[in-house]
Amino acid sequence: MAFQIPRGTQDILPGEVERWQFVEQKARELCRLYQYKEIRTPIFEHTELFARGVGESTDIVQKEMYTFEDRKGRSITLRPEGTASTVRSFVEKKLYANPHQPTKLYYIGPMFRYERPQTGRFRQFVQFGIEAIGSHDPAIDAEVISLAMNLYNSVGLKKLKLIINSLGDHESRKAHKEALIAHFEPRIGEFCSDCQNRLKQNPLRILDCKKDSGHELMKSAPSILEYLNEESVSYFEKLKSYLTDLNISYEVDPNLVRGLDYYNHTAFEIMSDAEGFGAITTLAGGGRYNGLVEDIGGPKAPGIGFAMSIERLLAALNAEGYSLPLEESIDCYVVALGDKAKDRSVSLVNELRQAGLTAEKDYEDKKMKAQFKAADRLKANFVAVLGEDELEKNIITVKNMETGDQTEVSINHFISFIQESK
Ligand code: HAM
């Protein structure tokens, strides 16, 4: 029986993996400019962390986690997102004790959610995310959003839409929650069983329901923006003015709810506006989580961050018909003819590589023509031919594949010749 890859996962093969590396490199470079440092946390954590961190009433915790018992009967979960783990580490490793706050961290790694796979939705996907923990200055909210927008811009994406909302502080949310319960409760029987459960736990999540999105009560539901207290309003106003200062256009969508429980104040999503992108247009999502560090057992420390999947970024690039400027050529292909030359070519490619040059040779006893074909396929800038004659004279014939010029070079000077002609 031939084995098949599990549903919702993918192999990223050479030819495609270079696009991933390009994006990851850009993300790391941006984080360096913005001074976010990398954090690597385990792929699995104790289940309780996500139940507490992401929220019991969320779809993620209720139906999407890969949870299993380890050999000692402990409940373990493959991480569905990166924020809870990052905050756990911030608390456990006492990063809050560093006098320089906020603590600015980023991660790139696989996340796991048992979702129905479709275009842009996987069961294993790679998130690039950042978290700034320890400041409630709206300037850091604007910085986080600007880093996300900058990454998309720097890989060439143009058709983007930034949507922001404020979920308010605890007091505003409480008032809004009561208004939502009053709005939905009399007719909750007309909603799906998930929404019926959400009514008391977290009625805000009703607004995010896919099944009941057409119900008339959805449109008339009280908007959070009407329930923001003065402090929440002024926080939101300040964020908007910073975004304007940074030349970042945005739309306010009072229905932007987000699927995780830890948010307050700023919530945002970046969508692709490209035609033919498919049903799932959200590229990135994030927001502020002022209570999460305490919920996870740490001190009072407000945080904000976002995450985006690399899969969706690359899909958006495809939808916009933009190909990344990837380096595809190699410096030198060594063609060897005859046994002695073949033996010598082993150390010659090694010397090229040690000098920092990309080099390849034949390992299949191919004829000269086929070796040249292989060099062409690899887009070699130079092809160096070593036959018995050349070996005897201690020379090698180097062909510049762009100009067609051929030069006989002493083998002793071969490496420096390629280096200098590059
Ligand atoms: P999220 O909205 O659940 O937020 O996910 C963020 C991003 O991860 C999505 O916008 C999407 O790009 C990607 N994503 C999520 N699920 C899938 C999937 N099944 N397949 C492919 N891509 C997916 C969070 O995860 C929060 N931790 C973000 C955050 C960080 N908030 C504050 N800090």
Reported as a single tens digit per residue, the pLDDT across 64-99 is: 999 999 999 999 999 999 999 999 999 999 999 999
Is the model's pLDDT at 5 over the cut of 90?
yes
Q: Is 258 annotated as a binding residue?
A: yes
Report the percentage of the chain scoring pLDDT > 70: 100
Confidence band, pLDDT 50/70/90 cuts, at residue 275: confident
The structural domains of the chain, with segments of one domain joined by +, span 17-169+229-320, 330-421
Q: Is 312 annotated as a binding residue?
A: no
Give the mean pLDDT of 108-119: 96
Overall fold of domain 330-421: Rossmann fold (3.40.50)
**The pTM is what?**
0.93
**Ligand 1 proximity of 124 Cβ (cutoff 6 Å):** no
Q: How far is the CA of 407 from the centre of ligand 1 (A)?
A: 55
Report the percentage of the chain scoring pLDDT > 90: 87
Q: What does the block give as tokens for 43?
A: 């792929």
Distances in Å between the Cα of 219 and the Cα atoms of 174, 178, 254, 293 are 20, 17, 11, 34
**Ligand 1 proximity of 311 Cβ (cutoff 6 Å):** yes
- What count of other Cβ atoms lies within 10 Å of the Cβ of residue 353? 14
**From 131-135, 222-226, 284-288, the region with the lowest mean pLDDT:** 222-226
Q: What is the mean pLDDT of the chain?
A: 95
Q: Is 420 annotated as a binding residue?
A: no
Q: Which helix (H) or strand (E) holds 30?
A: helix 17-34
Q: Which atom of ligand 1 is nearest to the CA of 260?
A: 3
**pLDDT given for residue 401 in this prediction:** 96
Is the model's pLDDT at 264 over the cut of 90?
yes
**pLDDT given for residue 258 in this prediction:** 84
Confidence band, pLDDT 50/70/90 cuts, at residue 280: confident
Confidence band, pLDDT 50/70/90 cuts, at residue 1: confident
Reported as a single tens digit per residue, the pLDDT across 295-333 is: 999 999 999 999 999 999 999 999 998 888 887 899 999
360 phi, psi to nearest 5 deg: -145, 160
**Ligand 1 proximity of 129 Cβ (cutoff 6 Å):** yes
End-to-end Cα spacing for the chain: 49
Confidence band, pLDDT 50/70/90 cuts, at residue 340: very high
**Ligand 1 proximity of 303 Cβ (cutoff 6 Å):** no
**Ligand 1 proximity of 113 Cβ (cutoff 6 Å):** yes
Residue 128 one-letter amino acid:
F
**Ligand 1 proximity of 27 Cβ (cutoff 6 Å):** no
Overall fold of domain 17-169+229-320: BirA Bifunctional Protein; domain 2 (3.30.930)
Q: Is 263 annotated as a binding residue?
A: yes
Give the mean pLDDT of 35-48: 98
Give the integer Cα–Cα distance in Å for 83 and 197. 25
